[in-house]
Structure 1
Amino acid sequence: MNVTKKLIVNSQKGNLLNELTKAIDECEQFYFSVAFINFSGLQLLLDAFKGAEKKGVKGQIITSTYLNFTEGKALKKIKKFNNIDLKVFVTDKEIGFHTKAYIFEFKDYYKVIIGSSNITQSALKSNIEWNVELITKDDALFIQDVLKEYDYLWNSSVEADDEFIRRYEEFIQSLSAFQPKKQMIYENAEYIVPNRMQKQAVENLDRIRSFGEKKALVVAATGTGKTYMSAFDVKSYNPKRILFIVHREEILKKAKETFEKLITNRGLTFGLLTGNHKQGHADYIFGTIQTISKCYLEFKQDEFDYLIIDEAHHATSPSYQSVLDYFKPKFTLGMTATPERSDHSNVFDLFDNNVALEVRLHDALEDDLVIPFHYFGITDIEGVDLSDVNIDDVAEITKRLKVNERVDYIISQMNFYGHDGKKRKALGFCASIEHAKYMAEEFNNRGYKSVCLFGGDTVDQRAYYVNKLEDDQDELQCIFTVDIFNEGVDIPSVNTVLMLRPTNSPIVFIQQLGRGLRKHDSKTFLTVLDFIGNHNKTFLIAIALNGSRYYDKESLKVAIATKFANIPGSTHIQMDKIAQERILEQIDKENFKSLKYLKEEYFEFKKLNSGKIPYFLMDYMKYDGAPDPIKYIDLKKTYLEFVASVEKEDALKKLLENELFEGALKELSSKLPIKRVYEFVIAKYLLEHQEISLTTARSEILKIVQDVQEDSVVHAFECLNQDYYDSGQLKRNLKLFTYSGGKLEKTQALINVLENEECRMYIEDLLNYGISRYKKEFKEKDYGLPHFKLYEQYQMADAALLSNYRKSHSSFRGSGLLSNENDYFLFIDLHKEADIKESINYQDEFINERFFQWQSPNSTAQSSERGKNIIYNKDRNINLHLFIRKYKQIDGKTEPYIYIGKGNTVSFEGEKPITVKIELEHEVPANLYKEFTIKV
């Protein structure tokens, strides 16, 4: 065997953790030498060490006291493994210890990984690290040198016995007693810079205001810096007077301090308006709604230039409404982490559907706005059988979960995986109040101080126990509850989340997970233990963790197989083998597009919507992890038709008997989800106006996107005029707009529909949904012409619309190669169905992330104009756009294509078809490449 070498870096393609766990699993013995070990990294290796222990595989680990970075807690944990010997190299001022080497012994060869990574979560998963892996025969000179050096270090190190660890921990503690906890940087306001989320929000707010809009909403997870964001925007906008309204007094002082720190040297005064403080003369006032709702009439209506509503989901309540109706500021900003908590009306409507920014869980992880989590999916004990229970039968589920043996199992797993920080601060989510009480009682019986909290407890009771949990000196370790705490209960230092009931909703799962993701000095990661039973909806966990807008069987299976490699940063997701197989089996059996599945999904969503029928598409924009209502439209042509059919709603059915209304809904619904925003912006404007000019249309579109070509606005008018419908489409679809003399206006049919207030409300909701979803998915970027976004999903006909094609758009189908002037669109299926009657088996495949092999239609000759355009595309100024899908159909429904960008032919061979090698302009991202190429 020659020496084989490989560079290991942390990226979407892989990471050092994967390499280490695989090697530990397969080797006969291992030897590590690392400068330091943190518990954050060790926790990720625990299962691999446990597997090695079961197989009798021995290991040796050397670490050091260098810079006192190694954690005593990590040393204690390693000591619990019978198969691992642990030593510590004690450093002094003269000698440092910097090794990062991982040696694995196999039957007749060695694998050695040497590089820059210690055992910490970020070094193993997300830091920029270089590690070189060498595989060499056991008699090679190189490995003899490595082993000799390792033995020298081993003999120079001391055994990490209990006494050594005790003295080391005492030393570390004595150091922290003398040193300030954190070296604070002097925060001169000029040096506080916005993070990516804050910068993006301020830019978007500027753009929204530049078009005369007076309100906007920012949706971002708790702890992501919304208050700083609002202060940055105020600093930029420079109003004379502002009013900052909050729901709870404890937020208020922090908000005032943030503004004072950031906005300096402007001669402004800052004051509080609460039950205890009456500083209503200040320039910038920070007040509680409780106080302001009693005294707002003492101010002039135009007293404030800028109004900020924190926790804006409360703004639909009467106390807020009277205040908001009274004041007439130049601009109002709403901020919320949870737009879904409004029980009255839609919080989006309150802010004119101007969402300046939306930061959901995956965005927050990617931007490092929350801490990473380590999720362990653990197969539940055999004694708990939920296979034949309805997931809504809470009483029966509670009965089956109340098992003493299960409590012992949960505690043993909790102790095995451990937690970050000195004291365990755990939230346990249970199936019912009865289950939560049982868990608290049983934990207490076993010496783990616990309490049960639920909605019936007073605010003071909750605050009392939360403070006890947060207090490092208090014995309280666990709070058991049913659903997420209401927002009044925030526990930033939670370091453990226990999922103790079957997951029946991705939304609730994400909300519960979010309870532990706040940044806090006492933790660097959150430990999540999910006890996965055998109930028939276990696969919902995969949907929640995948975090993808689109999912089908294939993408979910790839996500599970790759340990959710698309999750950013140091976050780690690991499921044991049984849980993994159980979920994969369920995914195979489930048809995500069947009426049965869609009804179940809809009714689960309805429960979260306070049990109210979600009549509006915008209801689905309120929740992270909400179902995609486009699936319901695909089934029934309009969303309301689906609701009417599953709800047996007579009033709704009667409304849909109005043929013009139903026709208008169908015509607009057929365009969802929109891939360019122009048509819907124009249609929304025409709800309030009889006609729109090209100039006005362009101005309205620029409120949403950075730029738009004039010809594209003309094309949008033509499309709304149904210029490119074929005869069948013209017959089937109601005409809503008419284009002549450079202006677009409403048809009489649409005017008649809009005269009915209820019909108008539903049409407006549909347009708002289309625009809001577009903004969320495409942001404000101008994609040029053709209007394609990389890695977005498209159907064939979308290419006609997005390239301003001026013939029937329905002609864009059926063939793998379509064109519009200099743009060639290659639509490619990677897996061909066996029953397709093709005279040739096309060899379309990825060569690697940068090159793709494609075969032209089998009638194309090299000498034809089309053939020349393909093989000499760059010289002939022909753009080759590649759209790829893995399968043509899944569960009997046609799959969309994914746009992977433009490419250029670099070599070609053969005739009819021509086989071409295309170099892509953009390397396909690792997670997408895996999805295209991995077979599960």
Structure 2
Amino acid sequence: MEQLIKKLEASLHKGFINQSKAASSQFKPKLLSNKAHENVLSSLLQEMKTCKTFTFSVAFITEGGLATIKTMLYDLQKKGIRGRILTSTFLSFNQPKMFKELLKLTNVEVRVTDVKGFHSKGYIFEHDQHYSLIVGSSNLTDSALKANFEWNVYLTSLENGEVIHHFKNQFEQQWNIAMPLNDEWIAQYQINYEKPEFKNKVASPPLYITNPLKESLKIQPNKMQTAALEQLNLLRQSGANRGLIISATGTGKTYLSAFDVRNAAPKRMLFVVHREQILKKAMHDFRNILLGDPQDYGILSGNSKDLNARYLFATVQTISRDPYLQQFAKDHFDYILIDEVHRAGAESYLKIMNYFKPQFLLGMTATPERTDNFNIYELFDYNVAYEIRLQAALEEEMLCPFHYFGVTDYELDGELIDETADLQKLVHRERIDHIIEKISYYGFSGDRVRGLMFCSTKEEARTLSNLLTMRGYKTTALTGDHSQEEREEAIAKLENGELEYILTVDIFNEGIDIPFINQIVMLRQTQSSIIFIQQLGRGLRKHNVKEYVTIIDFIGNYKNNYLIPIALSGDKSMNKDNVRRNTVNTDYIQGVSTINFEEIAKKQIFEAINNANLSTLKMLKDSYSELKNRIGRIPMLKDFIEQNSLDPEVIISYTPTYYEFLLKMKENISSITDYEKSVLALIGKDFLSGKRIHEILLLQLLLEEESISEKSYLAALQAHNAYIHKGTIEGIENVFSLNFFVEADNKKFGNKPLIIKSNSYYMFNEELQLSLRDINFKQYFVDLLECAFIKNKQFNNYEPFKLYEKYSRREVCRLLDWEKNEEGTLNGGRPKNGDFPIFVNYHKNDENNLETNYMDEFLSEDTFKWCSTKNRYIDKSKEMQILIHSVENGTNVYLFVKKDNGEGKDFYYLGRCAVNPGSAKPERILDKGKYYPVVTMEMVLEQPIQYDIYHYLVEE
């Protein structure tokens, strides 16, 4: 407690007296607002995650606001942690349905006050030794917690602090006179409820802006469509006669194409789709934009033959047949649009595209990526006119916000559903109970549920539908066996309330417009990130019956779970660390949308990430082919970065050089020498990550000049704000002379210095100078450097390490400028040259005594209890004395931690530490039946660990 008081006093001094005061930021008063990748919600969730109890006093609550914390509340309920919420009827803001949602929270007691003017927004959290408060402008709404301009103050207090007493007393006064929330109260409230006029049904601005001044409303393109139209116009001006639009589901591809047809003003237009239902909707949308005589519009399909229409909307199945195709001259249509053009590899599409010769051909798709290696991009001369992906569309508020919940699937006899689960387990009575519990708890936006459930098999869809119907739900199953008419009839019933859920397998993945969907339930494993986004996209169209769509994803023990964060983030790098980060921190989702994982479900994803091989030849080949198709040539590593594709480090982890990777891709390329391969291997292995600029800068300078002086090199480092510590230059020279590397690496890297220093001048060795005259080899050399410089932008050049980035022992040795790479013997850490890196594997694997169970433990976000390796003594071990007295002797202590061995060789850098000398204790550990002496001590980090990284590391 004494240490806590000191921390709190220092934090208060820093927050209210002098900001330059050195203090832990754990308890520092601060302003919470919603900024890019930082919002009030993240602080709220952090406090909830670590509290013993919580108390909310908030005037206004929305269903969307509750959705953002429901997963956390569920996890707290599993831990037995309870809380209280006091809310109001002020201004009739809170809707009756929201109060019903509050009743679902079994670990939360809710009361309602009718005090006039009740407008509080405060959140109090009780922890083991202190209280935290968030007080300010944010009500419990998704907009206030994540998107709006808000000001909230975060404060910390001990129990006897006057501020916390004041807040608690105020709360208790209102709590004691408030009405406990119950069904009877809600029923009465609903009878008297009048929806306030200022509340909008739709959460964000409408997709299109209308001008009511004319009888026929003119629909104007939104911001991103305007940009796309400009690019299409420029494309035509450049002489191109075809182009491709990549636009996320729900972003208005049909309206966009109609706007472009209006701009191009063709004499005749052909719109080709694969399904008649889409055809009718497309023609309706075009008439809204183009207006004109209704006789100008016609349909060519199995049921209609309007061959003379100026604007013809045709199904591919009909117009590709010779009796119809041959009735048109090849130049009959000036403008042709192909919808869902990722299907264009089919013979019917190619037949149409090869026959007609329009002035302009436009292809549209949400997912141009294909698994059969057919090159959609080539069909359109590699002219990607514009691209609107999911994240950008959410940011521009083109789509309906969503709240995604990754929930734990059904568990039978301690075993989660997995790939081998048979139908009997999938439709087990207890699994149906589990499904009903989750869809009820996480709910939906709107007056009633209009849901889609995606199942694994037709049998599962049919059986589950029958069983849910027996439970009182109005459901039906739709599969590929049903006709188009049956599908349309079911959708109509879902809209009018005759059905609550349609259970299906894959038939609604694409090409269907059901904008009123407000809940999507995924009851199958994720086999493809493309299909995942297609299915999620079914609910992303805006509609006035919903403010958001709920996505409930049942996550079992599936090996492909790692695809979930890949799909949600859109990160195709296949870098495991990126996948983990996108599971831990989901701030990449823009607007009010959120991504939430129940703790057990999150563990299943981490396990899948650890077990997955993201650099199999097939995966690499698929990504390579996709990129090659897109750019129309053999890609270089830099292209992978620029096109947001594979991380080049993933490729280099598979083959030592990109040259050898291209050979595996069966490319016909010019050969390079063995020595040239060894040079590329060195740069790829040690410099490609860009974790410091020093080496890559010297290589770049020597590409431009035959030699460069040490003075000029130092000036270049200073110009890049790069640190130059004692030993930095010697360390870099050691790397390029290969003295740094162990003998095995020396052989791999050519057994000769890469750079030679003579009379304070640096130059490449003679063989490398000759090699760089060969443009073939030089392109690989330059490509690696360009990638390294791009990657370096995310790192600090003014100090060796950046917080929360990952480093291997080998990289730590190099970045600390050690004379030799000592990764093989570094183990838990060692002092050298005034530095002491500490490496910790936090969760040890003690099965079969494979590892000793050391006593490493985070005591808080900024205090770590460290345990030495075996056979260490406080007085006898020189290393321990250096560490214990590191503050007074000026030794830099760096803490590197990884969660477990599943993360591979890399550790998160958590910062510099100050060792508390008085905390050092002799202790013993048991290893294989024998006790060994160790030393434990407490280390205080310069700043508390970022909350998402902290909880990821400490949780089992």
Map of 1:51-450 to 2, 5 A cutoff? 53=77, 59-81=83-105, 84-90=108-114, 96-105=117-126, 110-151=131-172, 153-154=174-175, 157-172=178-193, 186-187=211-212, 192-239=219-266, 241-252=268-279, 254-262=281-289, 270-274=296-300, 286=313, 288-289=315-316, 301-340=330-369, 345-383=374-412, 391=419, 397-398=422-423, 400-450=425-475
Q: Offset at 1:823?
A: 7.5
Separation of aligned partners in 2, 1:196 and 1:634: 41
| Distance across 1 between alignment mates of 2:200 and 2:125 | 40
- Residues in 1 aligned to 2:690 and 2:385: alpha-carbon distance in whole angstroms: 21
Are 2:278 and 2:511, in contact at CA under 8 Å, matched by a contact in 1?
Answer: no
How far apart are 1:485 and its partner, in Å?
Answer: 2.3
The 5 Å alignment of 1:447-526 reads: 447-472=472-497, 474=498, 476-483=499-506, 485=508, 487-526=510-549
2:40 matches 1:40 = no
Q: What are the within-5 Å matches in structure 2 for residues 565-714 of structure 1? A: 565-593=587-615, 597-599=616-618, 635=654, 662-663=668-669
**Counterpart amino acid of 1:449?**
K
SS of equivalent residue, structure 1 residue 550: coil
Deviations 1:326-380 (CA, angstroms, capped at 9, x unpaired): 4433222111224357979533222122111223333333333322332222333
Equivalent position of 2:579 in the other structure: 556
Q: What CA distance in whole angstroms lies between the structure 2 residues aligned with 1:71 and 1:360?
A: 34
1:163 partner amino acid = E
Q: CA deviation at 1:246?
A: 3.8
Aligned to 1:918: none
How far the C-alpha of 1:382 sits from its partner, in A, is 3.7
Unpaired runs of 5+ residues, structure 2, are: 1-7, 13-27, 627-631, 681-688, 736-755, 763-788, 796-801, 816-832, 835-944
Of stretches 281-290 and 415-424 in structure 1, the one that deviates more from structure 2 is 281-290
In structure 2, relative to structure 1, the CA distance for the partners of 1:553 and 1:324 (3 Å cut) is closer
CA distance in 1, matches of 2:567, 2:310: 45
Q: Quick one: which amino acid aligns to residue 528 of structure 2?
A: S
Q: CA deviation at 1:261?
A: 4.5
Contact 2:452 2:501 in 1 (8 A): yes
The secondary structure found in structure 2 opposite 1:494 is coil
**Change over 3 Å in CA distance of 1:106–1:175 after alignment to 2:** closer
Q: Which residue identity does 1:540 align to in structure 2?
A: L
The answer to whether the 8 Å contact 2:269/2:335 transfers is yes
Residue 14 of structure 1 aligns with which residue? 38
Distance 1:257 1:629, change over 3 A: farther
Contact 1:249 1:274 in 2 (8 A): no
SS state at 1:329 partner: coil
Give the alignment partner of residue 565 of structure 2, picking from 542, 552, 558: 542
- The 8 Å contact of residues 37 and 588 in structure 2, kept in 1 or not, is answered as no
Q: Which amino acid aligns with 2:251?
A: T
d(CA) in 2 for partners of 1:731, 1:55: 55
CA shift for structure 1 position 815: 15
Letter in 1 for 2:503: F
- Aligned residue identity for 2:596: Q
CA RMSD between the two structures: 5.6
The amino acid across from 1:578 in the alignment is I
1:492–1:516 Cα contact (<8 Å) kept: yes
CA distance in 2, matches of 1:599, 1:290: 33
Unaligned runs of 5+ in 1: 609-614, 646-651, 668-724, 733-790, 840-858, 866-879, 898-909, 912-928
For 1:662, what is the secondary structure of its paired residue? coil
How far the C-alpha of 1:731 sits from its partner, in A, is 13
Cα offset, 1:727, TM superposition: 8.8
Q: How many Å apart are 1:153 and its aligned residue? A: 4.3
Range that drifts further, 364-373 or 296-305: 296-305
Task: Give the deviation of 1:553 after TM superposition.
Answer: 2.8
Q: Deviations over 1:766-797 (max 9, x none)?
A: xxxxxxxxxxxxxxxxxxxxxxxxx9999999
Distance 2:262 2:184 in 1: 56
Secondary structure of 1:447 counterpart: coil
Q: Are 2:75 and 2:598, in contact at CA under 8 Å, matched by a contact in 1?
A: no
* Equivalent AA in structure 2 for residue 161 of structure 1: N
Q: 1:399 to 1:603 in 2, by over 3 A?
A: farther
Shift of 1:42: 1.0
CA gap of 1:146–1:237, structure 2 versus 1, over 3 A, is same
* SS class of match (1:515): helix
CA contact (8 A) 2:232 2:385 kept: yes
Q: Matches of 1:308 and 1:429 in 2, distance apart?
A: 30
Distance in 2, matches of 1:933 and 1:864, equals 44
The change in CA–CA distance for 1:512 and 1:192 in structure 2 (over 3 A counts) is closer
Q: Give the letter for the 1:86 counterpart.
A: V
Q: Would the alpha carbon gap of residues 134 and 459 (structure 1) be closer, same or farther in structure 2, given more than 3 Å must change?
A: same
* Amino acid paired to 2:567: A
Aligned-partner SS, 2:29: strand
Q: Structure 2-normalised TM-score?
A: 0.62
Could you give the per-residue CA deviations for residues 420-446 of structure 1, whole angstroms, max 9, x where no partner exists?
Answer: 223233333333223333322332332
Shift of 1:383: 1.7
Count of equivalent residues = 713
Give 3-state SS (helix, strand or coil) of 1:349's partner. Answer: helix
Contact 1:33 / 1:101 at 8 angstroms: preserved in 2?
Answer: yes
Letter paired with 1:19: S
CA contact (8 A) 2:572 2:646 kept: no
Structure 1 residue identity aligned to 2:394: L
Aligned-residue offset at 1:416: 2.0
Q: Is the 8 Å Cα contact of residues 816 and 828 (structure 1) preserved in structure 2?
A: no
Describe the SS at the equivalent of 1:339.
Answer: coil
| Contact 1:36–1:70 (CA under 8 A) maintained in structure 2 | yes
Q: For the residues of structure 2 that align with 1:43 and 1:932, how far apart are their CA atoms? A: 19
- Judged with a 3 Å threshold, the aligned counterparts in structure 2 of structure 1 residues 191 and 447 are, in CA distance, closer, same or farther, namely closer
What is the CA–CA distance in structure 2 between the aligned matches of 1:26 and 1:727, rounded to whole Å? 55
Structure 1 residue 224 displacement after superposition: 0.4
Conserved? CA contact 1:387–1:536, under 8 Å: no
Task: Provide the TM-score with structure 1 as the length reference.
Answer: 0.63
Pick which of 417-426 and 212-221 moved more.
417-426
CA distance in 2, matches of 1:233, 1:804: 50
